[in-house]
Amino acid sequence: MDVGAAESASPNSPSNFSSQRHFYLAVDRLQFKMETLVDLLGMAGRLPCLPMVVCCNTRDELDAISYALSNLSYLSATPLYSDLAEADRALVLDKFRQATIKWNRNPILHSEDKNDTENEEQKSRVVVATDACLPLIASGEAPVSARVLINYELPTKKETYMRRMATCLAADGIVINMVVGGEVVTLKGIEESSSLVIAEMPINELMSKLLAHMNEVLYRI
């Protein structure tokens, strides 16, 4: 897939994302990053039916993330590979879009018993993707409109960051960037060049923000 062409065709001006909220989660060491992601999704995933996308840069990381999430019984995690057959790709994306529709249409569901999330219908939905696998807006594929976008690996270019938002995130969704060490400098460069505000947030405060934001969204539905 021609990622560069898709980026240039994406509707990714900052004004399109004015209602979205951006945070970054600083991880002390690279070896703790996967554990932190599992902890984060372990908390967020207990919100029934919550649709989320995790973006990374390589297929190796996609495989590693998918394997790590397979042990979380309250999540349904699906890898989106660049070499999937067209019908299989469409099935993955359509199932995820159905999850977002279910979330938007059933606000009462999300405030019910959180202990029932091992039921298949109650599981939070996660798609794990690299930039080569994202929906191709220029080719007619619809965005997936997740409530939460997690950048497990930070893109190096502003255009890639904006494309992830344009193809994966709802207009009032939350972006969580996981950064290690010097990646904070890269993130600040993206922030400055895109006119976004990306605030640092410890994991516990991040979960409080996420839950509060979800409640705001539900009250508007």
Q: What is the pLDDT of residue 129?
A: 96
What integer pLDDT is reported at residue 47 of this predicted model? 77
Provide the pLDDT for residue 12.
42
What is the pTM assigned to this prediction? 0.83
- Closest CA relative to residue 204, chosen from 25, 13, 8: 25
Write down the pLDDT at residue 42.
Answer: 81
DSSP string, 116-168: GTTSGGGSEEEEEEEGGGS--GGGTPPP--EEEEEESS--SSHHHHHHHHHHH
Query: Per-residue pLDDT tens for 107-128?
Result: 545 544 444 445 667 788 999 9
Q: What is the pLDDT of residue 111?
A: 47
pLDDT at position 114, please?
A: 47
All structural domains of the chain: 3-7+25-220 (3.40.50.300)
Residue spans of the chain under pLDDT 50: 1-18, 108, 111-117, 219, 221
- The reported pLDDT for the residue numbered 220 is 54
pLDDT of 202 reads 77
**How many of the other CB atoms lie within 10 Å of CB of 64?**
16
Q: How far is CA 74 from the centre of its chain?
A: 17
- Here the tokens at position 28 are 């002390």
pLDDT of residue 118: 53
Q: For residue 10, what are the contacts with CB-CB under 8 A and spacing of at least 6?
A: 137, 138, 162, 163, 166, 167
